[in-house]
Structure 1
Amino acid sequence: MATRDSVEQFIQQCEDAIRYAEDQYSNAEQQEHYNDTEFTKAQEMLEQTYNGLMHLSLSCNAQQREQLNRMRLQLQQLQNQMTLLDH
């Protein structure tokens, strides 16, 4: 079973990954192809975070799983936006 602290730390990690990816998304919108390396790094970070979230959710209680599910939706939404961006 996941501890409350481990779930909170992971949610903080998710928020950091989202913040970084949002910055790279914003830069990519403005600079087009000048930002490919950082943009790709942000996408990879989101994917790794998503995979970690899915793994952690297997050992959570219902309340923790709900928190992680909300975070999962945010990660997926940003992943989709980054995939669809024509940069």
Structure 2
Amino acid sequence: MATRHSVDECLEQCQSAIDYAQEQYKDAARQEHNNAGNFSKSQLMLEDAYHELDKLLLSANEQQREQLHRMRLQLQQMQNSMILLGP
């Protein structure tokens, strides 16, 4: 079973990745991808967070799965937004 601490850490990592990606998304939209390196880095951070979340889902209880699922939807939404903006 996943510990509360591990779930909290995962959720924090996911939120940090989303926050960073949102910053890069805004910058990319304004600058027309002059900073493609950070944009790509933020996409990788989202992907890494998504994979960590998936691993944790395997050992989570029902309440934890619900929290993780909501975060997964937020990650997917940010990933989709970044793909649509694309370099």
The reply to whether TM is greater than 0.5 is yes
Unaligned residue ranges in structure 2 (runs of 5+): none
* SS class of match (1:33): coil
Partner of 1:77: 77
* TM-score normalised by the chain length of structure 1: 0.96
Alignment pair present for 1:65 and 2:47 = no
CA 1:53–1:86: 2 relative to 1, 3 Å: closer
Map 1:8-47; keep pairs closer than 5 Å. Answer: 8-47=8-47
Residue-pair matches, total:
87
Distance 1:18 1:86 in 2: 16
What letter corresponds to residue 52 of structure 2 in structure 1? G
* TM-score normalised by the chain length of structure 2: 0.96
> Runs of 4+ in structure 1 displaced over 3 angstroms?
none
Unaligned residue ranges in structure 1 (runs of 5+): none
* SS class of match (1:43): helix
